[in-house]
Amino acid sequence: MTKCRAPVFVGAEKPLEIREFDIPEVGPGEGLVRMVFAGICGSDAREWHNPETETPMIFGHENVGVLEKLGEGKKYDAVGQEISEGDYVAFCSVAPCMNCYTCVVLKEFSQCERGIKYGLSRCDSRPYLRGGYGEYVHLMPGVGIVRIQGKEHIPQALLAAIGNKTLVHAIQRANGISAGDTVVVQGTGPIGLSAIVQARLCGGRVIAIGAPSHRLDLARSLGAVKTLNIEELKTPKERVRAISDLTDGKGADVVIEASGASTACDEALQMVRIGGKFILVGMDMTKRRTMDPFQVTRKGIHVTGTYAASPTDLYKAMLDLRDVEIPFDRIFTHKFPMVEATEGILSVDRLEPVIGLIDHSR
């Protein structure tokens, strides 16, 4: 086989076009991955609606697949494991340039602005296959590949790639969550559910705020000791009061913002205790937010923001999830074949799935 297909974004709110691409030759240090699953992220839906999103583009930045070809000189993954053709792998979404200030000085490779962003950059130059919605992804040198320990661990690896890796990074940047800490998680989407899992693994006592009721049920099954339904507690004042009551008036030790809601940041600053931590993960750049920065100074709140994650975070999240009971059938609720990628995006836009996937076996 010398050709493959991918659904290509060609303009805001237009159906993705199924286009044919050449399967490329793989150069030194490169890789070719035959896709198995790609997460349909809420950010994909936002980019699909956005008239400023560049075209053409292949979406899909949360990916798991089979390493079909491995370039010369590539023997190990990003955490030192031996890799070979035929291995199942997960991989990060950036091929860093290794030349900019962010790469050379800060060593924040996942934040590189000059590098190739898989699932988030134009696909009209090499490597053309830049998104997991397509049948293949062509990985450039520097992409953080992590080998999956067997096909049976694909669900854990996929969940790690979709949300848990970012929470591992976020909690580390915030200097951790201590055993016994009360952790409020705002939001019960993929990032919020990941936050619940990671906070519980740290020994936190988790209170989840979100909706609808079936997602709150899932939050409890993942370890939340208490859930608050925003369809019942409809105002910020009610939600802040509820957290105060549940923490004997002290406030939460940690609040993780994973909803992207316009009032969530301001609520979080009111919910967190004096000297507590506020971790921002679930941001939507299309929304404006209100918050009172005086709360940060008055309480001495430690505020941490996280945008991406490293291969080490991905690897750690994969290992973490192998030791946790996860009801994957209640999380990966909607699967779409590649040719129905547009419907998959619309389904995520309507908040129908807990997590929606492009399933390349369908």
pLDDT at 284: 67
pLDDT at 286: 64
Name the band, by pLDDT with cuts 50, 70 and 90, for residue 362.
Answer: confident
| pLDDT, average across residues 296-310 | 93
Look at residue 344 and tell me whether its pLDDT is greater than 70: yes
Phi, psi of 254 (to 5 degrees): -140, 135
> pLDDT by residue (tens digit) across 153-212?
999 999 999 999 999 999 999 999 999 999 999 999 999 999 999 999 999 999 999 999
The tokens describing 356, both together, are 């929606």
The tokens describing 11, both together, are 């303009």
C-alpha torsion angle, residues 226, 230, 235, 239 (rounded to 10): 10
Q: How far apart are CA 105 and CA 247, in angstroms?
A: 42
pTM of the model: 0.94
Residue 278's alpha-carbon distances to 187, 272, 283, in angstroms, are: 14, 7, 13
Beta strands in the chain (DSSP E): 3-8, 17-22, 31-40, 63-70, 88-91, 94-95, 116-117, 136-139, 145-147, 182-186, 205-210, 226-229, 252-257, 272-280, 302-305, 332-336, 355-359
The tokens describing 223, both together, are 């370890």
* Max Cα-Cα span within the chain: 65
Name the band, by pLDDT with cuts 50, 70 and 90, for residue 291.
Answer: confident
The tokens describing 261, both together, are 């809601």
How many CB atoms sit inside 10 A of residue 94's CB? 25
Asked whether the beta carbons of 341 and 16 are under 8 A apart, the reply is: yes
pLDDT at 290: 80
> pLDDT by residue (tens digit) across 306-336?
888 999 999 999 999 998 899 999 999 999 9
Exposure class string for 153-175: b at 16+ Cβ within 10 A, else e:
bbbbbbbbbbbbbbbbbbbbebe
**Percentage of residues of the chain with pLDDT beyond 90:** 91
pLDDT at 249: 97
Cis peptide leading into 212, omega within 30 of 0?
Answer: yes
**Percentage of residues of the chain with pLDDT beyond 70:** 98
Look at residue 288 and tell me whether its pLDDT is greater than 90: no
Phi, psi of 358 (to 5 degrees): -85, 120
Cis peptide leading into 127, omega within 30 of 0?
Answer: yes
pLDDT at 101: 96
Calculate the average pLDDT of the chain. Answer: 95
pLDDT at 285: 63
Cis peptide leading into 51, omega within 30 of 0?
Answer: no
Beta bridge partners of 230: none
Contacts of the segment 112-115: beta carbons below 8 A, 24+ positions apart? 115/142
> pLDDT by residue (tens digit) across 227-285?
999 999 999 999 999 999 999 999 999 999 999 888 999 999 999 999 999 999 966 66
pLDDT at 308: 84
Taking the chain, what is the end-to-end CA distance rounded to the nearest angstrom? 19
Domains along the sequence of the chain with CATH: 3-148+327-359 (3.90.180.10), 163-305 (3.40.50.720)
pLDDT at 1: 73
